[in-house]
Structure 1
Amino acid sequence: MTSRAIIPVKLSLTEGDYYTLWAPTWKEHGAEWQAFLGDDAGLFLFTSPARLLAFLNSGRKHDLRSHPKWSSFEAQPADLIVPDKKDVYDIVGAPELLAGRPSYENVSALSRIFHLTRSLGEVTGADDAVLFFASHSMLGNVHRGAEHYAGEHGMGEWSAVGRTVLGGWRKVVESLDAQVRVIDVDEKETAEAQSLIDAAHIAAAEARAKAELAAKEAEKQADPYDSSVWGAAGIDPVKITLQGKSVYTLRTYVEGRPVFLGRYGEIFTFPTHRQLSRWLVENDEHDMAPLATWEQVMTLANAGELDITVHPDNEYSYQGLVADIEKGPDAVDTAQMSRGYELFADAADWAADDSLNSYLLANPRMQDYLSYMLGSTENAGYVPSAPFNDHSTAWKDLEDMLIKRFSKF
């Protein structure tokens, strides 16, 4: 019923509420074991979580020290000695659950009580508790959940469980009452333990508040593009502005290599994002069609719900670069130039031709200029000098080479 190895629990018996530790079934050396906090003489019970923690901190001997997960349990913050709501077991009040309908809450609570009570009876040798569960197999159906009692005969079986508990539960509780051994703990040590619990509780609350604040901040800073179909598919709309015109296309990267919406080295471009969206619905012969995530894009395109959103990182503007290059290095926006050259290189890489490299080899002065402007360590001794019209002309040649790859411009 639980994956936790050692659980702080609260038990309600005839004389009141008690706290202890429960180790549900675990396997060791091929055998199954279960245990509660105690020793050879019996079960250890405490009247508060602080007394339980004070006992554990005192170093006094107990059987759970041999549990394979004891060191992990000991390392937990002090406030985890306080049982969760689901680890509160009102054993004496179990019949009240059966007086109600077999709701999810009632059945799950009764299942937990049955589980712990049976384990407690077996570990402590409470014969009447052990005999009660061994004699009534129908009690095991409670662990199947509320759905088990939803059928035609469900209420009848639930009532039968109620009659069984009503007739024998008193003996079960009395047999467990006989096992009660409340351990005396020094008051000063108990107060110190309570201080540790309170401090750990405050630290946990502060950590939760900090985590919630960080999550809210991260949500504020999250880029909506990441949750769009483009972010999910890993395919980006691209807007390219040069020589007074803008065109739209798509680009992605597969194993680090660029892939454009296009075919045979021609990039399919469109003057508006609406035309791009409409074209996608009617055409599937392009390099993106085989991509594993392309279907995500087309599902929305075919439904007329595809929004062509261009992230700022995928907007490329060449406006004014030619004129700035002619003025001199200080007039050039190197970030704009770097992004522009990135697109030149991506287009050539995707087209698998040497046009860009061949041009730069044929124009070594331009190659040196780009290395200088873009921060390359190659030709470190080179410094551009006027006139710069050769560089501006060469850059316009590179723009023209890119335009020639466009289907429309």
Structure 2
Amino acid sequence: MAEKGIVPIKLSLTEGDFYTLWAPSWREGGNEWQAFLGADDDLYVFNSPAELLTYIESDNKHDLSSHPEWKSFNSRDAARVVPEANNELDIVGAPALLADRPSYANVKTISRVFAVMRSLGNVTASAPVSVFFSSHSVLHNVDRGADHYAGPNGLGEWTAIGRAVVANWDKVVDALDEAITIKEVDKVFVEDAQTRIQEAEAAAIAAREAEEQVAKEEAEKIDPYDTSAWAAAGIDPIKIIIDGRTVYTLRTYLGGQPVFLGKFGEIYTFNSQKALLRWLVEHDDHDLARASTWSDLMLGINAGETEVQVHPDNVYSFNGLVQDINTSVDAVDTKQMGRAYELMADTADWADDDSMNSYFLANPRMQDYISYMLGGSDTSGYVPHAPFNDHSQSWRELEEMLTKRFSKI
């Protein structure tokens, strides 16, 4: 058992369930010690955690009061006397576990039972307990865990432990029954102790739930994309929905300038995420290959460990914009328009051509329209008014300029 300090335990013995405190082991004065709640040769047990709490809060003297961790333990709330589930030890029922298979739970439970039994035997100088463990070295192997019994000889060794327990366990349990002292306490204080234990347990549950809620809220704040290989590389998959079709490509920014997956002004686009990944595995002649993080990103892609993840901020939809522009100013989703325009401007910057500038020089009212819709200040007093068919036609032509850059649409 891995516990340190002082821990409450529950022992199921012949006469019932009892509660006490155990100090598994500690070093002091160059020696190793272990102890249970008691005095001199007496080992105290109680019928309930409330009775145990009542006793340790009294002025009664006991051996654990000299333990280096006692003050720290005794300053905790009332629930300090309530055992955790793995410290509820069914001593009488141990043989039944050994009759079952050596599962993780069974081996772990038997290991804990044996650890407490050995300690009880040492502290109480119980000959039957000490002789039992010293005479059967195979008992110590349960501390190695369930994997120890997974080999070809594992079940045989587990059976050997079961035989040793069946032949000696009654004497061992009888020795412990004789070693314990069921301590009486003043019943006047037990009810109050039980109330305080329940209050402390309720407070602990509430605190744990509050911590879990905070942790959940913090986890929800974390964007899963931020932990992806794409975010680490600073290269983003983008999804473009235009003319009723959907294509995928990649984009990054180097020196503040956009760089797309492509070359010589042509953007390599794909109609599925899998097609994009397959192409990347087989090709490296494109502008993104000059990014310093590209080789790191490709390690995961080549190993089949990196899937395409498109962040919502990298989804660009053009669907319906032409119709909305032709309808009215209010019909246009300016956020959608702004994102679409951002993509068109980025592709023109990357291609290093003046096609968009030339278009706006030839169609100045369209530039004023876009500036007005996106909240620009330089509109020369322009206010859009019906009919809007010229604007919708111009927007369609801008979309066509974009799709002509695509390798596939």
Shorter-chain-normalised TM-score: which range?
0.5 to 0.7
1:138 and 1:161 in contact (8 A); partners too: yes
Provide closer, same or farther for how the CA distance between residues 142 and 337 of structure 1 changes in structure 2, counting only shifts above 3 A: closer
Distance 1:164 1:274 in 2: 63
Q: How does 1:214-293 map to 2 (within 5 A)?
A: 236-241=237-242, 244=243, 246=245, 248-251=247-250, 253=252, 260-269=260-269, 272-273=271-272, 280=279, 283-285=282-284, 286=286, 290=294, 292-293=296-297
2:321 and 2:332 in contact (8 A); partners too: no
Structure 2 counterpart of 1:103 = 102
Q: Give how far 1:268 is off.
A: 1.4
What amino acid maps onto 2:180 in structure 1?
V
Q: Give how far 1:113 is off.
A: 1.6
Distance 1:213 1:356 in 2: 53
Structure 1 counterpart of 2:90 = 90
1:117 aligns with 2:117: yes
The C-alpha deviation readout for 1:201-229, integer Å capped at 9, x for no partner, is: 667778899999999999xxx99999999
Q: Gaps spanning 5+ residues in structure 2: where?
A: none
Q: How does 1:107-186 map to 2 (within 5 A)?
A: 107-145=107-145, 148=148, 157=157, 160-161=160-161, 164-165=164-165, 169=169, 172-186=172-186
1:49 aligns with 2:49: yes
Provide closer, same or farther for how the CA distance between residues 259 and 71 of structure 1 changes in structure 2, counting only shifts above 3 A: farther
Distance 1:60 1:375 in 2: 80
Structure 2 counterpart of 1:337 = 337
Distance 1:353 1:359 in 2: 13
1:20 and 1:36 in contact (8 A); partners too: yes
Structure 2 counterpart of 1:317 = 318
Over the residues paired in the alignment, what is the CA RMSD in angstroms? 5.8
Q: Give how far 1:134 is off.
A: 3.3
TM-score of the pair, normalised by structure 1: 0.65
1:361 and 1:367 in contact (8 A); partners too: yes
SS in structure 1 opposite 2:141?
A: helix
Provide closer, same or farther for how the CA distance between residues 273 and 118 of structure 1 changes in structure 2, counting only shifts above 3 A: closer
Distance 1:85 1:236 in 2: 49
SS in structure 1 opposite 2:86?
A: helix
The C-alpha deviation readout for 1:138-180, integer Å capped at 9, x for no partner, is: 3212333455556666666556545644665555445434442
2:126 and 2:175 in contact (8 A); partners too: yes
Query: How many residues matched?
Result: 391
Structure 1 counterpart of 2:17 = 17
What amino acid maps onto 1:343 in structure 2?
L
1:322 and 1:396 in contact (8 A); partners too: no
Distance 1:344 1:31 in 2: 77
1:385 aligns with 2:381: yes
The C-alpha deviation readout for 1:27-61, integer Å capped at 9, x for no partner, is: 67986554433456653321112222334455866
Q: Give how far 1:19 is off.
A: 0.5
1:326 and 1:388 in contact (8 A); partners too: no
TM-score of the pair, normalised by structure 2: 0.65
SS in structure 2 opposite 1:17?
A: strand
SS in structure 1 opposite 2:182?
A: coil
Distance 1:11 1:231 in 2: 54
What amino acid maps onto 1:118 in structure 2?
R
SS in structure 2 opposite 1:336?
A: helix
Provide closer, same or farther for how the CA distance between residues 66 and 212 of structure 1 changes in structure 2, counting only shifts above 3 A: closer
Provide closer, same or farther for how the CA distance between residues 174 and 246 of structure 1 changes in structure 2, counting only shifts above 3 A: closer
Report percent identity of matched pairs. Answer: 43
